[in-house]
Amino acid sequence: MNALIIGQLAVSGALMGLVYALIAYGFQLTYATSKSINFGQGELVMVSAFFSLTLLDHGVPYALMVPGGLAFGALLGLLVERTGVRLALEEKSEGWVLLTIILGLFFFSAAENIWGRDDRPFPTPLSENPVHVFGIDVTRMEISVAVGVFAIMGLIELFKRRTLLGKAFEAVSADRDAAELMGISATRTVMLSYGLSGAVAALAGILVSPITTVGPTMASAMILKAFSVAVVAGLDSGFGVVLIGMFLGALEGLASFYIGSGWREAPGLVLLILALAVRPTGVFGKAGIRKV
């Protein structure tokens, strides 16, 4: 019985943790190429979810809504790059921090005005009946989260390793100046990374909405956890965010059961402090030497 409880808590938590991992992966994509991240990533998740819901409301079939939502997310990512990041990077300033936060606030207000402040249910083609796996109950929505997260991360990693464009992506990540000398446009690569990051955010929104409902504040709790995951895992390892995301999610579930539901967030924060103190580059991060 006890093992089953631990299993149930760990699995439920880990599946939610995969959503944190997916959002954290969005940070990684842009950090790799430009050493910048979008602090308004949570708002991209939320706005894309609202957009996808609007598509469904207008009778767009589910199978077409997903690519539509992803394309919309990618467009938003590009918008963030163009308006919030590119100029700051050209100036070699840290202005993107503030600019991406401001863009996030802008998206938030826009969503409130366009779609209102209410939480709305997000339809799903999946049955609501849970599936029993070795005595553990899992909903089909949770399974779809896992499938979606692994699928998109697998695809992007394959793309980076197998295609010419992907190799350019890796080259800029490794050394921006050297890549530019080889004739790779760093600006375009950064654009690509923001586009991908936006699409990843949109997917996170589409996957998690049937579980959390859609509302302007839907991502505010998740985004903080995604930051923790990104920091603890390090901003270099896609494999790392998945592992840490699942670990953090499971830890939350176990903590709220064994310590008390008021302490749900505590272990994650302790983990964050420990990681920053012991391994500031992240558990899976590369400790690089910074030449001055």
Partner 1 sequence: MLSATLPLHKSDPLSEDPMKHHVLLGTLLTAALGLQAQGTVKIAITGPFTGGSAPMGASMRDGAKLAIAEINAAGGIQVGGKKMKIEAIERDDEAKNERGALIAQELASMGDLSGVIGTVNTGVCMSGDRYFQEKGLTKIITPAAGSASMTQWSKAGVKDLSIFRFAADDAIQSAMVVEEAMRRGYTKVGLLYDSTNYGVSGRDDLMNQIRMQGGKLQVVASEKFNIGDKDMTAQLLRCKIGGAQAVLIWGIGPELAAVANGMAKIGMKAPLIGGWTLSMSNFIDNAGKNGNGTLMPETFIEDPITPKAKAFIEAYHHTFNVGRIPSPVSAAQGYDAIYIFAAAVKQAKSTDTHKIKAALEDLKEPVKGVIATWHRPFSKWNPADERTHEAFHRQQVVMGMVMDGRVVFANPAEKAQLIKAAGK
Single-letter amino acid code for the residue at 270: V
**Contact flag: residue 213 with partner 1 (CB under 8 A):** yes
User: What is the per-residue DSSP string for 166-218?
Assistant: HHHHHHHHH-HHHHHHTT--HHHHHHHHHHHHHHHHHHHHHHHHHHH-B-TTT
220-233 and 238-258 helices cross at what angle (nearest 10)? 120
Among residues 68 and 249, whose Cβ is nearest to partner 1? 249
Both tokens assigned to 229: 């995951």
Rule CB under 8 A: choose which of 60, 97, 102, 254 binds partner 1. Answer: 254
The values of phi and psi at residue 202, to 5°, are -65, -40
**Contact flag: residue 261 with partner 1 (CB under 8 A):** yes
Residue 117 beta carbon to partner 1: minimum distance, rounded to whole angstroms: 5
Number of other CB atoms surrounding residue 137 within 10 Å: 12
**Contact flag: residue 257 with partner 1 (CB under 8 A):** yes
Rule CB under 8 A: choose which of 13, 40, 234, 238 binds partner 1. Answer: 13
Binding range to partner 1, per CB under 8 A, among 2-10, 93-101, 102-110, 281-289: 2-10
Single-letter amino acid code for the residue at 83: T
**Contact flag: residue 57 with partner 1 (CB under 8 A):** no
The binding track of 124-163 with respect to partner 1, each residue x by CB under 8 A or -, is ----x-x------xxx------------------------
Residues comprising the chain, all counted: 292
Number of other CB atoms surrounding residue 257 within 10 Å: 15
**Contact flag: residue 211 with partner 1 (CB under 8 A):** yes
Using only the alpha carbons of the chain, give its radius of gyration.
19
Among residues 35 and 117, whose Cβ is nearest to partner 1? 117
> What is the rounded distance in angstroms from the CA atom of residue 92 to the CA atom of residue 249?
36
Residue 1 beta carbon to partner 1: minimum distance, rounded to whole angstroms: 8
Say if CB 268 and CB 231 are below 8 A apart.
no
Q: Which residues bind partner 1 (CB under 8 A)?
A: 1, 5, 8-9, 12-13, 16, 116-121, 128, 130, 137-139, 211-213, 215, 217, 220-221, 252-254, 256-257, 260-262, 264
